């Protein structure tokens, strides 16, 4: 039985991942600050489902709390640390940049320090497809350079990758970064498109469709994200023996460090996404077409060849199936 630390355990991915490890027989220590970025009741409802499990222990704490995090690592001998805690959201980073510095930078340093001081065997951390920023070569590959972020959120996620590499180099801390692509599904975040669209359509409100609908996203179902994380967590990265400083590969290193994309490898047109939702709701959307928002990108598309090669897994849930499962959960949870 392993002891796993999952930060952001009250969050969308954190809840599902905690359940996956618990179902596998592991012990999970979950931490979360349960902030009010979105509906706290939804976070508490997720936690309520986890707290009944005898191998789950929850601690309400912010990863930016240096003393609290130091004490946690001193008291708990973790086998694996999975950092999902972060201030999320591209557009919100324009409104409240300091929240991203506190959680995504200060908080991540606390995670890194705890891991290196207590000899954690593997740190897995959430990055984001947003790091691809101004890149237009599709599909996005972990072997591409990603030095042109378009939002502070993206910049902090890129910074996390660089920070982790530094610790992998200096302290031989095995680190794996995971770039998630537009995660959706039951118990999802209310600030994400599927949740916002579903709520608005059912309430006869208009939905905001950015870039006049000319957008593509590599929508990735939550179960696929969780399975990818679970498999990667058991694969401790090793130094790449053929890594070269004169031709540096961003996805690997001379240190124990690795980056993967976890995406559906199948970009979907935004208007088709909305059409699929309309079919499941049996109701048409009122569309408010708007220009592309600052920080947004027109398209995302994940190359998952490395994930397939190393852990034998590729996300494959069709968008139609994923939306159907989300709508079923939404109607049951909100009784609509």
DSSP state of 192: S
* Nearest-angstrom CA–CA distance, 312 and 308: 4
Which residue, chain included where needed, has tokens 């001193």? 74
* Nearest-angstrom CA–CA distance, 116 and 122: 10
* Nearest-angstrom CA–CA distance, 237 and 167: 13
The catalytic residue among 15, 38, 100, 153 is 153
- Tell me, yes or no, if 153 is annotated catalytic: yes
Chain centroid, CA 96 distance in Å: 20
* Nearest-angstrom CA–CA distance, 33 and 37: 11
* Nearest-angstrom CA–CA distance, 220 and 235: 22
- Residue 1 is encoded by which pair of tokens? 């039985």
Strands 286-289 and 206-209: parallel
> Which positions are catalytic?
153
């Amino acid at each position: 039985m392993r002891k796993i630390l999952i930060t952001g355990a009250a969050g969308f991915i954190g809840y599902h991942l905690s359940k996956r490890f618990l179902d596998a027989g592991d012990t999970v220590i979950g931490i979360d600050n349960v902030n009010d970025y979105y509906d706290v009741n939804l976070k508490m409802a997720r936690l309520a489902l986890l707290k009944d499990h005898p191998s789950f222990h929850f601690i309400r704490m912010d990863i930016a709390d240096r003393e609290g995090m130091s004490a946690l690592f001193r008291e708990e001998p973790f086998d694996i640390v999975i950092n999902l805690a972060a201030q999320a959201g591209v557009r919100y980073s324009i409104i409240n940049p300091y929240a991203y510095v506190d959680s995504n930078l200060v908080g991540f340093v606390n995670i890194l320090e705890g891991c290196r001081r207590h000899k954690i065997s593997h740190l897995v951390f959430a990055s984001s497809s947003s790091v691809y920023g101004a890149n237009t070569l599709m599909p996005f590959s972990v072997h591409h350079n990603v030095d042109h972020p378009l939002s502070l959120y993206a910049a902090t996620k890129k910074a996390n990758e660089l920070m982790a590499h530094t610790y992998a180099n200096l302290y031989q801390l095995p680190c794996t970064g995971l770039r998630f692509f537009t995660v959706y599904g039951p118990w999802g975040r209310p600030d994400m498109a599927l949740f916002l669209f579903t709520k608005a359509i059912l309430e006869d409100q208009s939905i905001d469709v950015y870039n006049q609908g000319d957008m593509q996203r590599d929508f990735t179902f939550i179960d696929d994200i969780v399975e990818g994380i679970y498999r990667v967590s058991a694969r401790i990265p090793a130094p790449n023996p053929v890594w070269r400083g004169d031709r540096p590969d961003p996805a690997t290193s001379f240190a124990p460090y690795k980056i993967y994309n976890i995406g559906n490898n199948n970009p979907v047109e935004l208007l088709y996404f909305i059409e699929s939702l309309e079919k499941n709701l049996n109701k048409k959307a009122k569309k408010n077409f708007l220009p592309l928002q600052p920080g947004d990108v027109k398209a995302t598309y994940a190359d998952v060849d490395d994930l397939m090669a190393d852990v034998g897994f590729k996300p494959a849930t069709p968008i139609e199936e994923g939306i159907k499962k989300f709508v079923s959960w939404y109607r049951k949870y909100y009784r609509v």
